[in-house]
């Protein structure tokens, strides 16, 4: 029998999953139809809660730190302790063990139940991850404003004007769509889904949370088709 897994996640205002990183873990669990329960932890409590559970700490860079530092002229290898999260979500626990970090969580889920496979050895994963990171460099703060404070993208645009993050994200978004366009099937690897698709779907799903999904996929029907094909994995998001 599959052991019961707990997924540590930070809740949106509606007590549903809103973090793109946590969604990767959640989608992997849903994809494999593995039972789990969510442990909600507010962002400010991630470190104290995981520390109190003796989760081994690990220095994780927030998704796009290296690229942000490069674009601001700060060498990426000049990182200080403060640049890292030492406790992050997603974290999962099963059989009394804790696993933290998106890739390690995916590997642990794959080990718990190997089929259907996430195809974690696919080189597509790094390429997709990199394109999503690039998008999040421009759009991450917008998602955060919406899910944490309920301020929607349209409101931000009306209030502050300026060049929309959506304009700046055109190139990496095109790259992302390129990974699924023109394949034999709906998915990055063709006819069967893999973790690379989960990374894309987690990203796209964040945009449904802030009512801007249509704007993100407008020019990229292949991304819309991937999201629609993945709708079963997206259903469970709140327990």
Ligand X SMILES: N[C@@H](CCC(=O)N[C@@H](CS)C(=O)NCC(=O)O)C(=O)O
Binding site for ligand X (CB under 6 A): 19, 21, 43, 46-47, 60-63, 85, 88-89, 101-102
**CA–CA separation, 95 and 93 (whole Å):** 7
Nearer to ligand X, 136 or 176 (CB): 136
Min dist. Cβ of residue 24 to ligand X (A): 8
Which residues are paired to 17 by β-bridges?
11
Q: Which is nearer to ligand X, 102 or 230 (CB)?
A: 102
User: Cβ 146 to ligand X, closest distance in Å?
Assistant: 14
> Among residues 46 and 180, whose Cβ is nearest to ligand X?
46
Place of tokens 């060049």: 163
**Identity of the residue, 62 or 185, whose beta carbon is nearer to ligand X in the bound complex:** 62
Q: Shortest Cβ distance from residue 222 to ligand X (Å)?
A: 25
CB closest to ligand X, residue no: 88
In the complex, what is the shortest distance from the CB of residue 123 to ligand X, in angstroms, rounded to a whole number? 18
What is the C-alpha separation between 213 and 232, in angstroms, rounded?
A: 17
Quick one: 91 or 212, whose CB is closer to ligand X? Answer: 91
Give dist(CA 88, CA 60) in Å, integer: 8
Residue 193, Cβ density class (10 Å: 0-12 exposed, 13-18 middle, ≥19 buried): buried
Relative to beta strand 5-9, strand 36-40 is: parallel
Smallest separation, CB 221 to ligand X (Å): 28
**In DSSP terms, which residues pair with 108 in a beta bridge?**
none
Query: What's the CA gap between 97 and 55, in Å, rounded?
Result: 8
Separation CA 184–CA 195 (nearest Å): 18
């Amino acid at each position: 029998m599959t052991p019961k897994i707990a997924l540590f996640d930070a809740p949106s205002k509606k007590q549903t999953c809103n973090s793109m990183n946590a969604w990767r873990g959640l989608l992997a669990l849903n994809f494999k139809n593995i039972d789990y329960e969510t442990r909600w932890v507010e962002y400010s409590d991630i470190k104290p809660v995981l520390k109190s559970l003796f989760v081994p700490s690990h220095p994780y860079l927030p998704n796009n730190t290296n690229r942000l530092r490069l674009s601001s002229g700060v060498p990426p290898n000049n990182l200080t302790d403060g640049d890292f999260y030492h406790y992050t979500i997603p974290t999962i626990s099963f059989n009394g063990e804790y696993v933290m970090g998106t890739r390690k969580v995916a590997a642990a889920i794959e080990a718990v139940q190997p089929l259907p496979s996430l195809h974690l050895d696919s080189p597509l994963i790094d390429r997709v991850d990199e394109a999503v990171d690039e998008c999040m460099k421009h759009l991450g703060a917008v998602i955060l404003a919406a899910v944490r404070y309920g301020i929607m993208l349209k409101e931000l645009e009306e209030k502050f004007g300026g060049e929309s993050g959506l304009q700046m994200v055109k190139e990496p978004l095109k790259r992302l769509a390129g990974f699924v366009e023109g394949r034999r099937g709906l998915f990055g690897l063709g006819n069967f889904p893999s973790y690379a698709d989960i990374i894309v779907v987690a990203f796209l799903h964040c945009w449904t949370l802030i009512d801007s999904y249509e704007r993100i996929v407008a020019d990229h029907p292949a991304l819309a088709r991937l999201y629609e094909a993945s709708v079963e994995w997206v259903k469970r998001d709140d327990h």
